[in-house]
Amino acid sequence: RLQTLPLCTFMHIDGYHLLFNMMTLFFFGRQLEHVLGLGRFLIFYFTSGTVAAAAQVGALGRQEPFVKVIGASGGAYALVAYTTCFMPHQTVLLYMVIPVPMWLLMAGLLAADIFWIRPGEAHQGHLAGAGCGAAYYLLRFRRFPWS
């Protein structure tokens, strides 16, 4: 049921998942709302979350007849990816203590989703969300690495 995919952007599996996504939305979302404006920001966030949910369904749909999709993290990954493209050398505090540049944070998140497979986690949705964030940045600013 495709009409339920946008609703996945509001779903969280537990309190930690909700806390992580809300912190991501608070710290990165505020910056991006300032850059994009409220309307573009909302379209970007919900489109990224919906695409991430669809990617998760597409990846698991053949293996499992009923796929449970929690798509809020896909939107969060899109925020982090866009911020990484926009300000790659901005310093953020990992675990509120360790200063790291954005590009290293994003590389670590992607590596964890590619190489550290945990059952029940939406790796495909995370990666699709990050891809949406990077793609939106590239399309918006027309900054293509190959041009």
* pLDDT, position 40: 92
Tell me phi and psi for residue 100, to 5 degrees. -140, 150
Residue 145 has pLDDT above 60, yes or no: no
47 vs 9: CA distance, rounded Å: 9
pLDDT of residue 41: 93
Q: Higher model confidence: residue 62 or residue 125?
A: 125
Phi, psi of 86 (to 5 degrees): -75, -40
What are the CA-CA distances from residue 143 to residues 17, 64, 99, 106, 118 (Å)? 33, 39, 27, 19, 34
pLDDT > 90? residue 59 = no
User: How does the average pLDDT of the chain come out, rounded?
Assistant: 81
Would the pLDDT of 96 be above 80? Answer: yes
Of 42-56, 94-108, 114-128, the poorest mean pLDDT is in 114-128
Backbone angles phi, psi at 15, to 5 degrees: -65, -35
Lowest-confidence region among 18-27, 43-52, 82-91, 115-124: 115-124
122 neighbors 56 (Cβ within 8 angstroms): yes
Query: What pLDDT is stored for residue 42 in this prediction?
Result: 92
Q: Output the CA–CA distances (angstroms, integers) from residue 135 to 1, 14, 20, 77, 99, in the order listed.
A: 26, 29, 23, 12, 26
Closest CA to 103 of 89, 117, 86: 89
10-19, 96-105, 121-130: least confident range? 10-19
